[in-house]
Structure 1
Amino acid sequence: MDFGTLDFGTLSFAPALDAPELVAAPVRAALDGSAATDVYAAAIDPALADTAAFCEHYGIGLADGANCVIVEAKRGDSSWYAACLVLGHERIDVNSLVRKHLGAKKVSFAPMEAAVQLTGMEYGGITPIGLPESWTLLIDESVAAAPMLIIGSGVRDSKILTSGAFLASLPGAEVIGLVKRQEG
């Protein structure tokens, strides 16, 4: 789906391929030469990169964005990293759903320093686009179903607008339920 140049909240988004300076180097590398026609970027105030402040300032609902969380999984002497993507108003179920899906004995949020070093992105801007190819990328079903949503760009001074379908097509992506939902 091609959204064209568009406004969302109070932001104006341009095609990310036309504004490579707005995304981190690993994101640029992942988008370079791709057919990422539904990936857009907009500059923001880096002091407002965190979800709640960003949404309030730019007139965007929490459900219109997704957060990328890096986790460290452990089993025996082995440890590995994965990324999880959930809507901004939902809480990821790390200790049950993510742990079981990754086949880990223990899963915890990755330390900030490790997340930054391993992704090559800024904390508060980490995005699923351009993550290490060996990582599993778990995407919540509600994210994959979104026609468009806002995610990090790898840096704190911009955001990306894209479709859930594009995110579900990323290398290593698996669409599963990551949030405990109330039944009934």
Structure 2
Amino acid sequence: MNGPGTLDWAPAGPDLVAEPVAAALGGLTAFAASIDPDLADTAEFCARYGVELADSANCVIIAGRRGEVTRYAACVVLATTRADVNGVVRKRLDARKASFAAMDDAVALTGMEYGGITPIGLPPDWPVLIDAAVLTRSSVVIGSGLRRSKIALAPDVLAGLPGAEVIEGLAG
């Protein structure tokens, strides 16, 4: 599999992904491509590199709190949708309150750059919640842990990640 759009995709290696991503790639089949880091945000990336929004998935880090306990999860949804943070995700985390994790916390806890966070290489005790619609695509583009590159892979690779849970209706 190559990847969508006009990018030069090559097998993902440590030169194009963040350190925790490289450590977790192992035997995964994934491709990476360099991009302009100023165009890492999804809409700009898709427009510049000819990738359909529906073939791009965003990974957001959610912090759920109940009392003094904070639980984190990654949510992977197509770029054409938004994660149901206050419904599905909050309930899955058994939290009274759920919100996007603070940027500094997300960066420190993942070892990845903000705007490039990806579900590959996250802390092993975090659930990786994947909207079922992501699995309907033939390939999907995600972050690489860095703003200067992207990863393309088959959605079933995401579903096979440690802690992955495919959830119908995670996004709307």
Instruction: Please indicate, yes or no, whether the TM-score normalized by the shorter chain is above 0.5.
Output: yes
1:44-95 C-alpha deviation (Å, 9 max, x unpaired): 0000000010000011111011000001001122111111000011011101
Q: Which residue does 2:27 correspond to in 1?
A: 35
CA distance 1:54–1:30, change in 2 (3 Å): same
Matched, 1:116 2:87: no
**Cα drift, residue 144 of structure 1:** 2.6
CA distance 1:24–1:176, change in 2 (3 Å): same
Partner SS for 2:80: coil
Q: Which residue does 2:160 correspond to in 1?
A: 169
Instruction: Report if aligned partners of 2:82, 2:171 keep a CA contact under 8 Å in 1.
Output: yes
Instruction: Report if aligned partners of 1:146, 1:165 keep a CA contact under 8 Å in 2.
Output: no
CA distance in 2, matches of 1:89, 1:167: 18
Matched, 1:26 2:17: no
Partner SS for 2:15: helix
Instruction: Report if aligned partners of 2:3, 2:139 keep a CA contact under 8 Å in 1.
Output: no
CA RMSD of aligned residues (A): 1.0
Q: 2:93 aligns with which of 61, 85, 102?
A: 102
Q: 2:55 aligns with which of 57, 64, 83?
A: 64
Q: 2:126 aligns with which of 129, 132, 135?
A: 135
Q: Which residue does 1:152 correspond to in 2?
A: 143
Q: Which residue does 1:14 correspond to in 2?
A: 10
Aligned residues: 171
Partner SS for 2:38: helix
Q: Which runs of 5+ in 2 are unaligned?
A: none
Instruction: Report if aligned partners of 1:67, 1:151 keep a CA contact under 8 Å in 2.
Output: yes
Bigger CA radius of gyration = 1
CA distance in 2, matches of 1:7, 1:41: 8
Instruction: Report if aligned partners of 2:3, 2:153 keep a CA contact under 8 Å in 1.
Output: no
**Cα drift, residue 146 of structure 1:** 2.3
In structure 2, give the amino acid aligned to 1:84: C
